[in-house]
Structure 1
């Protein structure tokens, strides 16, 4: 039997793909275009299964940590052995780096739990996983994953601040200092990516070159906003938006390179606005904010450490996805939509199971 919160999550996992399906249908699209939204429907089925067969807390958290170590290890291999300029260059570096970052941040929640429960062995393992996960993002050069990183760290501090002893605070400050020092080294690739970003911004706003990496993003963001303003309610659809872009190009409002980029807006929110209007944007926000609302309810100090840890992990998944979606259509890729849905479902079903066990033990 689903409770109110589970029904909320189950409902949005059906509504989001329904909105996309209607958009595809009215836009004259093909069944193949429903491939990505259909994965969210799969998520609804997985949710029902996991609510009946929830993952165990330690298995889930150590599994996530193992994923973070694997991602960071692969990133090191890509940079040091294969000689790739960016980690995960064999796939989409942005997606690989962003997923690695999320795994590392959830592992950081595991560090907090293991310190609270005095589990020293797992503290070391989760700490290593956190470092490897963040390292994977750094080595991928995915700048979008760094935008809200300080904000997310601050949110984690606020969630777990009552668990911190002076010794823990000192250790975290030292770890953060070492991370900053590493990011400032040329080997990390971060200074080079920051300088490139500064150069792209300068060239774009001076009008000297609009076809840089960030300049290209600015152009398609501007295009998406203009398309949305023309059809704000239902949007243009995936194919229809090309007509809007063609009109913009002919009027000299966007560059030819921006017009030729027939994919997405490099911003999940603007992409939804242009293609599916306010209706699509509302469905996207619900897919993000409903899980955030559900997880936030379990962050109070009165809940068991395991429950708060899982809830914090869920909050991190949502906030980091919002972060990535500001400069990349993260959910446009199969890797992004599957990772987001599965992460939310696993963490929520484990959290609900853990809370039910806690309630029974108090009876």
Structure 2
């Protein structure tokens, strides 16, 4: 489905001004997602504006709550449970900042749905983010001689951010009619993929393939091709991209490392990156069996103490649970730390992100969910707070943009 931006009509001077300000802040957030400060001033500004204008949005609050209920409920339940569980585990000194900060997306959603922003600012921000982050990563590896690109982040976190923005750009290229936009978005997507490859994040390789397959399938299906042709073309495209990626020395090196690790694991040696994951995943299942409802919490020493006999029985290294602050699997980590209740709230958050949405932005959210779901099999992807905030802001912005036009129509009708 193609997309052509439509300029809103009947807006007051204040609404137009806020719309331009919102556009600038959305662009700023994504453009400096990789290289900017840990806590973005853009989201802080959006939160302040949302609070200041909340009384002016009260007249449309009922409509906003009704149409945005899945997303707002998903965020609220997930964050409030995270906060409550952390307080129970750590008392008043517990670290509640990340989930508490994500709750700010609710007033931001209400605000953006009422006053809107230019959707081009979001795509331009993703383009700029891929360009800035990608170039910084290339310089770090090619010029500075780093083994893996990170740009101040862990290479996995850096790769996840570039994959997030790159796949967003690739999907946007399929819904725009204007050729210039398509060329720019595809170029940015390519830069994002290159950044991922130079990060050496192996868990992202199948995630990118899944996203590309989904995007390619949608494009070919809209052209009326048969299912068999679509599948063949999708597989061929992924094979072509993989062949091109294989030419990069960093990809070849990671492939050789992976093969070496599998050989060592087959000989019973689990002291490798993949071997550590196997130990953590197995131990996580044990922890869930011992604390199935609310989990054991985030304290790695508690995990080690509870699992010590289990670790010795299976000849695992106890230090594997304290060397990392997570279990390298999104679902097992959530279940072990916060129980099956916590896992349910996480799935509710992901479901709430897409439920009730419509094309063309439904596809953009679906692509990001695929990325998170697949990478989450080998990485605790939402453990990276910057990526989680990017996910929350992207979904909030896209859902709010879809709702902005109906709310403006109601406002004009009331006048």
Post-superposition offset of 1:311: 2.1
Partner of 2:382: 331
Q: Is residue 249–residue 259 contact of structure 1 (8 Å, CA) maintained in 2?
A: no
Query: Out of 90, 97, 103, which is 2:165 matched to?
Result: 103
> Which among 121, 124, 137 is matched to residue 62 of structure 1?
124
Displacement of 1:294: 3.3
Given candidates 264, 272, 294, the residue that maps to 1:203 is: 264
Q: 1:247 to 1:336 in 2, by over 3 A?
A: farther
Contact map agreement 1:57 1:350 (CA 8 A) in 2: yes
Match of 2:275 among 215, 234, 243: 215
CA distance in 2, matches of 1:257, 1:135: 34
Deviation at 1:291, TM superposition (A): 1.2
Residue by residue, what CA displacement relative to the aligned partner does 1:218-257 show, whole Å, maximum 9, x if unpaired? 1111111110011211111223434323343344553133
| CA pair 13-198 structure 1, distance change in 2 beyond 3 A | same
Give matches, 1:21-100, under 5 Å. Answer: 21-88=83-150, 90-100=152-162
| Partner Cα separation in structure 2 for residue 148 and residue 319 of structure 1 | 7
Deviation track 1:45-77 (CA, whole Å, cap 9, x = no partner) reads 322222223222222112212212222212211
Which residue number in structure 2 is paired with residue 185 of structure 1? 247
Q: What TM-score do you get using the length of structure 1 for normalisation?
A: 0.85
Do 1:267 and 1:325's aligned partners in 2 also have CA atoms closer than 8 Å?
A: yes
Q: Which runs of 5+ in 2 are unaligned?
A: 1-60
Quick check: 2:169–2:188 contact (8 Å CA) kept in 1?
yes
Contact map agreement 1:216 1:257 (CA 8 A) in 2: no
Residue 130 of structure 1: how far off its partner (Å)? 1.0
How many angstroms does 1:5 deviate by? Answer: 3.6
* Inter-CA distance 173–72: structure 2 relative to 1 (3 Å threshold): farther
Q: Deviations over 1:316-347 (max 9, x none)?
A: 11111112222111212221221111121112
Equivalent residues of 1:55, 1:349 under 8 A apart: no
| 1-structure distance, mates of 2:256, 2:237 | 25
Match of 2:16 in 1: none
Per-residue displacement from partner, 1:336-362 (whole Å, max 9, x unpaired)?
Answer: 2211111211122123336778999xx
C-alpha distance in structure 2 between counterparts of 1:111 and 1:193, whole Å: 30
Distance in 2 (CA, whole Å) between partners of 1:14 and 1:215 is 36
Gaps of at least 5 residues in structure 1 are 300-307
Aligned length: 342
Structure 2 CA distance for partners of 1:254 and 1:107, relative to 1, 3 Å: same
Check whether the contact 1:246–1:259 (CA below 8 A) recurs between aligned residues: no
Aligned counterparts, 1:141-156, within 5 A = 141-156=200-215
Q: More displaced, 235-244 or 77-86?
A: 235-244
8 Å contact from structure 2 (residues 264, 270) kept in 1: yes
1:97, CA displacement in angstroms? Answer: 0.6
Task: Identify the residue that residue 316 of structure 1 maps to in structure 2.
Answer: 367
In the other structure, the counterpart of 1:231 is 291
What are the within-5 Å matches in structure 2 for residues 236-247 of structure 1?
236-239=296-299, 240-247=302-309
> 4+ residue stretches of structure 1 with deviation over 6 A?
171-175, 355-360
Task: Give how far 1:186 is off.
Answer: 4.3
Q: How well do the aligned residues superpose, as a CA RMSD in angstroms?
A: 2.8
